[in-house]
Amino acid sequence: MTSYWCEQAIVGETVEHAVRIEESGGVIAAVVPEREPRDGDTVLSGLVLPGFANGHSHAFHRALRGRTHADGGTFWTWRDEMYRVAGRLDPDSYFELATAVFAEMVLAGYTVVGEFHYLHRRPDGFAYETATAMEDAVVAAAERAGIRLTLLDALYLAGGIGKELESSQSRFSDGSVADWVARRDAVQFGPLSRGGAAIHSVRAVHPHLFAAIRDASKSLPLHAHVSEQLAENEDSLAAYGATPTALLAAADVLGPGFTAVHGTHLTDDDIQLLGGSGTTVCFCPTTERDLADGIGRASALRQAGAALSLGSDQNAVIDPFEEIRGLEMDDRLASGRRGRFTPAQLLTAATAGGYSSLGWNGGRLEIGAVCDLVEIEMTTPRTAGAAVDQAWLAATSADVNTVVVGGVVRVRDGRHVLGDVGALLGEAIGRLNA
C-alpha cells in the first residue's frame, strides 16, 4: 500500500486542495480531504492529474523522428522509410527500442499505452520459433519501462485493397484470421499489461472478414485505422461501394468496445454512425499534422455522441499536452471559432477516454480506478500563473515531475527510475540506423 498527499488535484471535474490518495493492490482505495500529509505519504506539491492515456502508438516509428523532413515526400514515401526500419527489427532490438520509447512516454506523463502492433513474424514472413517472440518483446518492454499496456494485436493480410502483400509487408501477416487468433491468444501478459485486438485497416483486411474478427474479439478492446487518408476512402468506395466506416457498421463492429483511429476524412453519415453507436474515435493530432493527413471533425463527432481519445501514433512527438492542444487548436483553425471543447472535456479525452478505449478502469482519481497519477509543476516558465483548472493547456511534458503507475513511482523529480532515457533512445535508434 502507498499513499500520496496532493496539494491540489483534479478530482472529477473539480480542483481539490489538500487531498490524500491511498493505493492498495495497484488500485485507488481512498480519496479523502486531509489538511496535512501523514508520515509515509509521498508529498506532491504541484498539480496532480489522472495519468494520461496514449490511445494509439507504434513504438518503433519513434526511430524516424527528426529524420524524414529533408526531402519532403508524401505519406507513402514516409511509409517506405518506416518499412525499412520495420525490416531491421528482431525481438532483441525491438525490446531495446520499445523499452526506451515507453520510458519516454512515462517521462512525458503517459501511464497507459495502446500499442497497435503488427510486426508479428520474421522479416522473411516465416513465424519465429517462439510464435509470440515479437509480442513478448513489447510486453517485456512495457513492464520494464513501467507503463500500463494494451497490446492491440493487429490483423494484417493484404497489401492494399485487392493487392497481395509486398515483400516488406510479409512479416505483418499471420496468413489467416484463425492463425492470427491462435498467436494473439497465446501471448502471456504481466501485471501491467493486457491483450487487445485490431483490424489494421480496410486496406489490409477484406471486409468479408470483419464479422469473424468481431466474434473472435468479443472480450477485447478492438481498434482499426479508419479513413486516415483520402485515398483509403476512394479505394474503399471504388471496391465496395461504401466508406470504411459504413463497412464496419454493416458488420456490426461499431460500438463502445470499438475505437476508430484517426477518422480524419469522414462523411456526415460516417459521423452519425460512429456517434450513434458510442464508438470511440482516437485523434492523433501531432501525427496527422506531420503526415499532412488533414483535420478530423472532432467537435462534430462529440456532438454526434462519439467518445474521444488521443494518441501519439508515430511518436514524432511524445507529449500528451501537445495532443490536447492539437485537438482543440486544429478544430479552432478549421472552424474559425474558439472554445471548441471545455478544458474538462479535453482532459477527459486525454485520460478516461483513452483508458476506457484500452479496456482499463482508470483515468480518474476515484476509488476503484487503477492508481496511475501525474504531478505537473505549477511554477515553471510555462505553467506559472496558469489557472489550475486549465493548466493542461499551458503545460508541456517538460513540466511533469512525478509519475505513478499501478501505485509505483516511475518518475520522480522529472527523472525516470531507469535513468537517462535520452541515452537509451540514442543507443537503440543508433543501432537500427547503423
* Residue 102 Cβ vs Zn ion, minimum distance, rounded to whole Å: 16
375-379, long-range: CB within 8 Å, 24+ apart, which pairs?
375/6, 375/44, 375/46, 375/47, 375/48, 375/49, 375/400, 375/401, 375/402, 375/403, 376/46, 376/47, 376/49, 376/109, 376/400, 376/401, 377/46, 377/401, 378/8, 378/46, 378/47, 379/46
Tell me the number of residues near Zn ion by CB under 5 A: 1
- Among residues 200 and 410, whose Cβ is nearest to Zn ion? 200
Distance separating alpha carbons of residues 350 and 398, to the nearest angstrom: 17
Across the strands, what pairs with 149? 113, 193
**Residues within window 242-281 making contact with Zn ion, judged by CB under 5 A:** none
The number of angstroms, rounded, from the C-alpha of 17 to the middle of its chain's C-alpha atoms is 30
Across the strands, what pairs with 31? 21
Residue whose C-alpha cell is 515483400: 167
- Among residues 235 and 399, whose Cβ is nearest to Zn ion? 235
- Kindly write out the interface string for residues 295-334 of this chain, putting x where it contacts Zn ion by CB under 5 A and - elsewhere: ------------------x---------------------
- Among residues 41 and 81, whose Cβ is nearest to Zn ion? 81
Clarify whether 313 is annotated catalytic.
yes
Instruction: Tell me which of 262, 331, 372, 399 is the catalytic residue.
Output: 262
* Residue 159 Cβ vs Zn ion, minimum distance, rounded to whole Å: 17
- Among residues 32 and 231, whose Cβ is nearest to Zn ion? 231
* Residue 118 Cβ vs Zn ion, minimum distance, rounded to whole Å: 9
The number of angstroms, rounded, from the C-alpha of 55 to the middle of its chain's C-alpha atoms is 2
- Residue 97: its H or E element: helix 91-108
* Residue 126 Cβ vs Zn ion, minimum distance, rounded to whole Å: 25
Closest chain position to Zn ion (CB) = 313
Sign of the dihedral through C-alpha 81, 84, 88, 91: positive
Instruction: Tell me which of 313, 319, 331, 399 is the catalytic residue.
Output: 313
- Among residues 23 and 313, whose Cβ is nearest to Zn ion? 313
* Residue 282 Cβ vs Zn ion, minimum distance, rounded to whole Å: 9
Binding site for Zn ion (CB under 5 A): 313
- Residues with a catalytic annotation lie at 262, 313
